[in-house]
Amino acid sequence: MNKASNLMQEIVSLCKRRGFIFPSSEIYNGFRSCYDFGSLGVELKNNIKQAWWKNIVQNRQDVVGLDASILMSPKVWEASGHLTAGFADELVECKSCHKRFKLDELKENKCPECKGELTKPRKFNLMMKTFVGPVEDKAATTYLRAETCQGIYINFLNVLNSMRMKIPFGIAQIGKSFRNEITPGNFIFRLREFEQMEMQWFCHPPASKTTRNRRETKRETDAKNWEPDDWFNYWKEERMKWYLDFGIKKENLRAVEIPEKDRAHYAKRQIDIEYKFPFGWKEVEGIHDRGDWDLSNHSKYSKKDLSYFNEADKEKYIPHIIETSVGVDRSLFAFLCEAYEEVKGGRTKTTKAVKESEMVLRLDKRLTPIKASIFPLVKNKPEIVKKAKQIFDLLKPNFMCQYDEAGSIGRRYRRADEIGVPFAITIDFDTLKQDDVTIRDRDTMKQERIKIENLVETLKQKLNSE
């Protein structure tokens, strides 16, 4: 087995063993391409969503949030182009083993599994069909959304008016999307049910040459005069910074300009942000210049005027859209791969296990599911256990904590390192005399004694520091 597939197996096994990710419907032998997030997985997922929301919505004045429904009028998907060839993959089937493949993922014109002959490609729409109401007929057909952004476009006027927004501005949303992928796989990389974090940036369309000249002078100082392409570059930089800020190494991240023939049907320009997964460079986020495709089509199909009127310039136009779209599951997978480290020979000196390798999940402190583990040094001294439980109660309302009294202290450190807990707090005999505890740092393994009365504040500072 090669190094990459070994690493994948270790990550998948850690996810199952420690409660990050389970295969869906496991007791019924699984349900391909669906996964359930366990108790630690859901914390990690929530922290990633919160980190994105804080960066995109909370810290800015010009982006607001939305949570639109998954089911929408089927007309939405006519207008968006998803029901036509625009959202179809080319599918081929092996005439011998009957496995199906995406044409653009094949390296040769043979079945990659059994080398059998392939059928001619046919278009396969990725939309998941469902029925609304008691009768399963054409009139009741609708679709599970294939991307969250359509809910944003159809609410463009509602948000614009209720929040009194002025262009340029953005609307952000996090939610589930569904695609009937032909070849799901690589653990949680390609799923049929997944979650997206999308931001749609509404800006002025490309100006005509004369207006551009008139605006050019102000362009550097006044972002209102930026062209869509300036915004595209701005958002690409912003999004690249986000991954680096949360611990992805520069050498594992890249932005790839997508040529016209490979772009999504709505995209005038497209950049994929790619992460170097154990199985190769793959997309984690798409930045798309969607032009006026969506709002023009929704205006046409709904017969509602979705244009924007700028009072100051007395100018009316259909806004241009720059989109940033990232998968929660896929970025979570990238963060996990990046954080996973195996230390050969071990790193804690306290137990016999020193010669074994140990795992450390070096997740960013803001993302890691559990912020502090609380360990009574021994579990057979009631005063120490009582004190440790008091400290757990003190910290719990402030941070996600875990109480652990099973096994040697070294073993407990290793258990905490493996799930990325940044701080381990030990309550020992000195605690009873001095009212202080030991804090051990996951990364440096340094230990320091802190007074219990300062513990919450100290942890807050440590968790917020770089």
User: What number of chain residues touch ligand ATP (CB under 6 A)?
Assistant: 16
Q: Of the two residues 264 and 452, which places its CB atom closer to ligand ATP in the complex? A: 264
Q: Of the two residues 145 and 204, which places its CB atom closer to ligand ATP in the complex? A: 145
Using CA of residue 22, residue 52, residue 193, residue 252, what is the dihedral sign?
negative
| Distance in Å, CB of 232 to ligand ATP, minimum | 14
330 lies in the site for ligand ATP, by CB under 6 A: yes
Q: Of the two residues 239 and 298, which places its CB atom closer to ligand ATP in the complex? A: 239
| Distance in Å, CB of 174 to ligand ATP, minimum | 12
Q: Of the two residues 291 and 422, which places its CB atom closer to ligand ATP in the complex? A: 291
Among 10, 227, 230, 283, contact with ligand ATP (rule: CB under 6 A): 283
Q: What angle do CA 373, 195, 127 make, to 5 degrees?
A: 160
| Distance in Å, CB of 291 to ligand ATP, minimum | 16
Q: Of the two residues 168 and 327, which places its CB atom closer to ligand ATP in the complex? A: 327
For residues 330 and 194, give the distance between their C-alpha atoms in angstroms, rounded to a whole number. 9
Alpha helices by DSSP H, 303-454 = 328-339, 382-395, 409-418, 429-434
Q: Per the omega criterion (within 30 degrees of 0), is the bond before 397 cis?
A: no
Q: What angle do CA 83, 24, 181 make, to 5 degrees?
A: 25
Q: Of the two residues 267 and 374, which places its CB atom closer to ligand ATP in the complex? A: 267
Tokens of 388: 């440790």
Instruction: Estimate the share of the chain in helix, then strand, then coil, as percent rounded to the nearest 5.
Output: 35, 30, 35
For residues 127 and 146, give the distance between their C-alpha atoms in angstroms, rounded to a whole number. 6
Q: Kindly list the distances between the CA atom of residue 342 and the CA atoms of 22, 127, 206, 337, 357, in Å, as whole numbers in the listed order.
A: 22, 40, 50, 11, 6
Q: Of the two residues 285 and 428, which places its CB atom closer to ligand ATP in the complex? A: 285
Q: Of the two residues 290 and 440, which places its CB atom closer to ligand ATP in the complex? A: 290
Q: Are 364 and 421 in contact (CB under 8 A)?
A: no
Q: Of the two residues 325 and 373, which places its CB atom closer to ligand ATP in the complex? A: 325
285 lies in the site for ligand ATP, by CB under 6 A: yes
For residues 361 and 247, give the distance between their C-alpha atoms in angstroms, rounded to a whole number. 12
| Distance in Å, CB of 52 to ligand ATP, minimum | 12
For residues 223 and 225, give the distance between their C-alpha atoms in angstroms, rounded to a whole number. 5
Q: What angle do CA 91, 94, 99 make, to 5 degrees?
A: 75
336 lies in the site for ligand ATP, by CB under 6 A: no
| Distance in Å, CB of 297 to ligand ATP, minimum | 17
Residue nearest to ligand ATP (CB): 327
| Distance in Å, CB of 195 to ligand ATP, minimum | 8
| Distance in Å, CB of 283 to ligand ATP, minimum | 5
Residue written as token pair 């258990």: 415
How far is Cα of residue 425 from the mean position of the Cα atoms in its chain? 30
E-strand stretches of 61-113: 63-66, 88-93, 100-102
442 lies in the site for ligand ATP, by CB under 6 A: no
| Distance in Å, CB of 109 to ligand ATP, minimum | 21
Among 326, 334, 359, 395, contact with ligand ATP (rule: CB under 6 A): 326
Nearest to 363 by CA among 375, 351, 371, 373: 371
284 lies in the site for ligand ATP, by CB under 6 A: yes
Among 329, 404, 417, 428, contact with ligand ATP (rule: CB under 6 A): 329
150 lies in the site for ligand ATP, by CB under 6 A: no
| Distance in Å, CB of 58 to ligand ATP, minimum | 22
Site pattern 169..198 for ligand ATP (x: CB under 6 A): ----------x-x--------xx--x-x--
**Which parts of 80-139 interact with ligand ATP (CB under 6 A)?**
none
Tokens of 349: 């000196």
Q: Of the two residues 103 and 452, which places its CB atom closer to ligand ATP in the complex? A: 103
Which positions ≥6 away from 43 have C-beta within 8 Å?
369, 370, 400
**Which parts of 395-434 interact with ligand ATP (CB under 6 A)?**
none
Residues near ligand ATP (CB under 6 A) are: 147, 179, 181, 190-191, 194, 196, 283-286, 325-327, 329-330
